[in-house]
Amino acid sequence: MKKVLSLTLTMAMVLSLAACGSSTSSAPAETTAAAAETTAEDTTAEETTAAETEAAETEAAEAETDSDLAYVQDKGTLVVGITEFEPMDYQDENGEWIGFDADMAKAFAESLGVDAEFIVIDWDNKILELEGKTIDCVWNGMTLTDEVTSAMECSNAYCNNAQVIIVPADVADQYQDTDSLSDLSFAVEAGSAGEAEVDALGLTYTSVTSQADALMEVAAGTSDAAVIDSLMAAAMVGEGTGYADLTYTVGLNSEEYGVGFRKGSDLAAALNDFFADSYADGSMEACAETYGVQAALIEQ
């Protein structure tokens, strides 16, 4: 009896131990199959047998070494990592993703013959998401900094942006040039272009997790000023917004937006071609006009 019991328990334990590792083996059948093996017309994911899954895995590995483009076309979807960011990526009343970036991403996916799927990610984890293949690109008004270009395969710049200083509206007239900023304490997004700027100017600053957090710091009075993207500032600060008491003053630098892909991916080159074509035929500018960003558009 005892032996039977301990045997049962051993097996139960082995199973539950396997559960830790088996996050790798139990659920994967459908995802791997969907991700690698099948094309859009034939997704018999549930029926995939273990053998097929293995084949799919090797195929996925090959596709990765060969071509990221082929990998995306094989699985039939381009998974776009975004955060809600008006006017680049945001939802309309029906929950459809729209915005300059979202519309361009849809058009690009269509040109590859795949569907665009939008996934809201935690911006801090964008490189993890890319390398972990849970998304295929980061397309969300991403500033091309050294960190970004060294960690991702980036497209050509497509949009201009600047970093601007946010201060409470009632003291804004005291801070109209960079020299006046020295006695302020700043809140900036960790790893952002804004952080690099205030650091270069030798200003006192605190790093927070997002630009939105930086705004909250100013609103709450825990920091005197924040540095955020001008496109974002235009949408979020001033009369009629959630931050009616704040305003933006000095622009620190100018910078450019690009789209990030996995390191070494050939999708970046494909996107550059796509940008060039759609700029040439005017569709890119038309799209930019829809969202009021045509002034910031960069010639391709």
Residue from 52, 59, 64, 147 touching another protein (CB under 8 A): that is 64
| Nearer Cβ to another protein (64/285) | 64
| 95 or 282: CB nearest another protein | 95
237-261: burial string, b at 16+ Cβ within 10 Å, e else:
bbeeeebeebbbbbebeebbbbbbb
Q: Is the peptide bond before 28 cis (omega within 30 degrees of 0)?
A: no
Q: Which one among 241, 277, 281, 286 touches another protein, defined by CB under 8 A?
A: 241
Residue 263 in the binding site for another protein (CB under 8 A) = no
* Count of beta carbons in the 10 Å neighbourhood of residue 133: 16
CB of 55 to another protein, least distance (A): 13
List residues bridging with 163 in a β-sheet: 229
Identity of the residue, 53 or 278, whose beta carbon is nearer to another protein in the bound complex? 53
Among 18, 110, 113, 120, binds another protein (CB under 8 A): 120
> Minimum CB separation from another protein for residue 167, in Å?
15
Q: Of the two residues 234 and 298, which places its CB atom closer to another protein in the complex?
A: 234
Residue 23 is a binding residue for another protein (CB under 8 A): yes
Q: Which stretch binds another protein (CB under 8 A): 7-15, 100-108, 176-184, 276-284?
A: 7-15
Selected binder of another protein within 37, 69, 74, 83 (CB under 8 A): 83
Out of 116, 135, 154, 231, the residue judged to bind another protein by CB under 8 A: 135
Q: If we measure between CA atoms, which residue out of 78, 137, 74 comes closest to residue 107?
A: 78
- Contact between 52 and another protein by CB under 8 A: the answer reads no
Bin 122: left if φ > 0, else alpha if -120 < ψ < 50, else beta.
beta
Residues 200-239 interacting with another protein (rule: CB under 8 A)? 210-213, 215-216, 219, 235-237
**Among the listed residues 47, 96, 122, 183, the single contact to another protein using CB under 8 A:** 122
Burial of 60-98, coded b for 16+ CB within 10 Å and e otherwise, reads beebbeebbbebbbbbbbbbbbbbebbbbbbeeeeeebb
Site membership for another protein, residue 243 (CB under 8 A): yes
Q: Which residues in this chain contact another protein in the complex, by CB under 8 A?
A: 1-2, 5-6, 9-10, 12-13, 16-17, 19-20, 23-24, 27-28, 31-32, 34-35, 57, 60-61, 64, 79, 81, 83-86, 90-91, 93, 117, 119-122, 125, 128-129, 131-135, 210-213, 215-216, 219, 235-237, 241-244
